[in-house]
Amino acid sequence: MSERHGRTSRHTLDPAAYRCTTLAAQLADEAVEYVRKMALSDDGGGYLGAARKFAAFADRQLGDAAVTARLDDDRIDLPEVIHEWETALRQEYGLRSGQPYRLVSTVLTLIAQRGHRDQAVPERLRRRAAAPPIFPAPKSTPLDEFSNAERIDLRDAARRRVRELEERLEHGRRLLETGRDSREYGWRELPNLLWAAREGLLTTTALEANLPRKPKWWPASLREAGLGRRALVTAIGGMLFPTEIDLMAFRVLLLLGMADTTPEELLDLTLPDIEDTGEGVRVVQCKARARRVRADLHPAASGGGAWDVPGLLRRLLAATATTREAFPTAGPRLFLSAELNNRTGQLAARPATFTRGRRRFTHWIAAQDDGAGRPLAISLPHDARRLRKTAKTARAAALGGTVSDLAGDDHHVEVFRGHYAHGTTAHLMAGRTIARAQQWVFQQALDKPLFIDAEAEKQLAEPETAKAAGLSEDQARDMLAGGLDMGLAHCRDPYDSPFTTGSQPCHAAPAMCMLCRNAVVFTSQLPRLLMLADHIETMRTRLEPPRWQVLWGRQAAALTELFTEYAEYIPAARQEIEDQRLTLHLPLGLRTEYDR
């Protein structure tokens, strides 16, 4: 069994339900063992589900022969059955679904585990279990964050909905103060119906028994609340208890304010997870996927902010207080809603999931306006995970620091690169940072690189030739020995870079060598520079023109000037590239920062 969002799920696999009884039982045993060994948080629902699906397919595929199928016997060619299953799953779920990969990987994991413990498992089945599924998991496009204008629109719309909810609940509570027992004082007064709702007595059956059959004969106050028994129960419940779609506004604001919290972590919060420290709110969060529990302190804004995280949590708890009083057994979830149960005709409380019916994020967005009556224009997809990315990139924009600064305490740098650094905001920030750095370089690089042809290079060891080239004897000797080769050109002194302070080694080579006064180019290095020029032209086709100009424009111009000035050397350099099949080797950091 597993518990999620206040609901308990039971996971079972009955081997007797399949003709391949032995195979199903063995897979079930392995699933139980694997879940126990790995301490999985869902109690193995996914593993038992995959085993059930494979067993059902084996029944259909093998027919009467399924009774002999088992993991420790080779009378049935199970690798071939797995192959056919993969093909069938591909047809069932489609090319873009990741479900076939997940199901097959799960079953292969269970078979591999059996193979480690049982020497009777055939070698061919062991090899198949050790190999990956034949169809790889589809690559998904990472979500981009919302634009800053969209973020502001969502924030403002959510704040309007919170204010409207609080006004509605306050109105309902004032009416409730005058309400009396509807069984004794009647069902035709709105305050009495609110009293009945709080006491759990308000149902469509009770209204049918105590109100006229047609709404036109109801009192005006009831007709204004809702025409029809279900509509009236829903409206009265909404005056006391927030609905799931009401709570979406708090969810939006909290995800925008808690950059280190995922939608799943926020949804799983309970009242014991939240502690008021006096200086703010301490929130304990559990990331099931990483099996990590952490506590984050959200300090209160000066003056006790109404829209910071502590203020939002206080307002959310106040909004759901009546719900918790009226439904004491509903559980401690932070997001607790109460709505009409259409089957029973009465109000019921349950933890919000924001996935049922028309209660998703996209439905909430569709119901919002910009404050002037115009619908919100929010880019697709309407995925709540984009709210977190928006919060993190907004923090990154505020910090304006390095990647390690932007990753924060909850991510490794590589995780941030893979999941957040691809976003529009991060790219714009990177472009601005590179542009500022290059502009500073351009201002410092007053001289262009020095070119030394092959004849001069032969005589460079002589002090007079080195002096004529503006080099010291040590510099000339080190260059000839390759000790000052920076990858594309030589450098007079890597510790005297025009764009590195404090006598630190140059960090901009080889990206900026062609714009540096310290660079010295030998004839033998022209093939490298030609390949760099080709690489830059390739990037022209991959990057948007403004971005290419910012990253590579000045380097391309400097290379063109060099090739034009020493055009007689270029054909031989091109021929050397072709004859020796040379390739360009750029540092990983250069490709990462400039070619994305």
Residue 342 reports pLDDT greater than 50? yes
Give φ, ψ of 22 to 5 degrees: -65, -45
Give φ, ψ of 325 to 5 degrees: -70, -40
Other beta carbons within 10 angstroms of residue 126's beta carbon come to: 18
Question: Which carries the bigger pLDDT value, residue 462 or residue 286?
Answer: 462
pLDDT digits (tens, 9 = 90+) for 236-272: 999 999 999 999 999 999 999 887 788 888 998 999 9
Residue 21 reports pLDDT greater than 90? yes
pLDDT digits (tens, 9 = 90+) for 428-468: 555 554 454 444 444 444 457 888 888 888 888 888 888 87
Q: What is the pLDDT of residue 205?
A: 93
Q: What is the DSSP string of 404-431?
A: HHHH-TTS-HHHHHHHTTTSHHHHHHHH
**How many Cα atoms within 13 Å fall on the side-chain side of residue 437?**
16
Residue 137 reports pLDDT greater than 70? yes
User: Cβ-count burial of 179 within 10 angstroms (0-12 exposed, 13-18 middle, 19+ buried)?
Assistant: buried
d(CA 246, CA 354): 10
Give φ, ψ of 482 to 5 degrees: 85, 10
Residue 566 reports pLDDT greater than 90? no
pLDDT digits (tens, 9 = 90+) for 160-196: 999 999 999 999 999 999 999 999 999 999 999 999 9
Produce one character per residue of 322-340: b if its CB has 16 or more CB atoms within 10 Å, e if not: bbbebbeebbebbbbbbbb
d(CA 593, CA 511): 10
Q: What is the pLDDT of residue 426?
A: 54
Residue 412 reports pLDDT greater than 50? no
Residue 258's nearest CA partner among 236, 280, 229 is: 280
pLDDT digits (tens, 9 = 90+) for 360-406: 999 999 999 988 889 999 998 898 888 888 887 766 555 554 444 44
Q: What is the pLDDT of residue 423?
A: 54
Least confident range from 240-244, 494-498, 528-532, 552-556: namely 494-498
3-state helix/strand/coil string of 367-405: CCECCCCCECCCCCCCCCHHHHHHHHHHHHHHHCCCHHH
d(CA 293, CA 286): 4
Q: What is the pLDDT of residue 96?
A: 81
Question: Which carries the bigger pLDDT value, residue 39 or residue 58?
Answer: 58
Domain ranges in the chain are 2-130, 442-594
User: Cβ-count burial of 137 within 10 angstroms (0-12 exposed, 13-18 middle, 19+ buried)?
Assistant: middle
pLDDT digits (tens, 9 = 90+) for 199-219: 999 999 999 999 998 888 999
Q: pTM to 2 decimals?
A: 0.59
Q: What is the pLDDT of residue 589?
A: 52
pLDDT digits (tens, 9 = 90+) for 474-517: 888 888 888 888 888 888 888 877 767 666 777 777 777 888 88
The percent of residues in the chain predicted with pLDDT above 90, rounded, is 42
User: Cβ-count burial of 160 within 10 angstroms (0-12 exposed, 13-18 middle, 19+ buried)?
Assistant: middle
What integer is the mean pLDDT of 223-238?
Answer: 92
